[in-house]
Amino acid sequence: MSEIASSEQLFAVADRPRRFKEFPLPVSGLTVRIRSLREDEVSDYQAELVAKSGRGFQPARLKDANRRLIALCLVDAAGNRLLANGDTAKLAKLDYADAGALYDECAGHAGINREDIETIVKNSAEIPVDNSPSG
């Protein structure tokens, strides 16, 4: 049986550099590079799907959730983000085989699965968004 980690050990591994992965896109043949995400980045990404009130979900943000994840993960050779959150609409024009491969690789590399997002949507969708001034 292995030794149980201490809090010092746990926080020491949190300081490790990001992981990177390069792979070719199936249609364009371009080689892209993605980065791993920290827990706070994934939490922020997931929170963007939920309405500001915390009740319901943002349909527009849900619609481009895959593109938002791609924008978070896609980096240049130096590890700097290639895309800002405002660039997600441009990703909608990609061939879906390339976009799907990007999403799958980003999600897998970050440790996110489609069920995570579907659960957020399912739980949020049960409560209608209240857009009234008092809500």
- pLDDT, one tens digit per residue, over 9-61 is 988 988 899 999 999 999 999 999 999 999 999 988 888 776 565 555 566 66
- pLDDT, one tens digit per residue, over 75-124 is 999 999 999 988 999 999 999 999 999 999 999 999 987 676 666 666 65
Asked if the structure places residue 10 within a domain, the reply is no
Question: What's the CATH number where 43 sits?
Answer: 3.30.2220.20
Q: Which domain holds residue 43?
A: 19-125
pLDDT at 83: 96
Asked if the structure places residue 62 within a domain, the reply is yes
Question: Does the predicted TM-score (pTM) go above 0.85?
Answer: no
Asked if the structure places residue 8 within a domain, the reply is no
CA-angle at 114, arms to 84 and 56, nearest 5°: 75
Asked if the structure places residue 46 within a domain, the reply is yes
What is the total count of domains within the chain? 1
Asked if the structure places residue 74 within a domain, the reply is yes
Collapsing DSSP to helix, strand or coil, 56 comes out as coil
What is the per-residue DSSP string for 18-44? PPEEEEE-TTT--EEEEE---HHHHHH
Asked if the structure places residue 4 within a domain, the reply is no
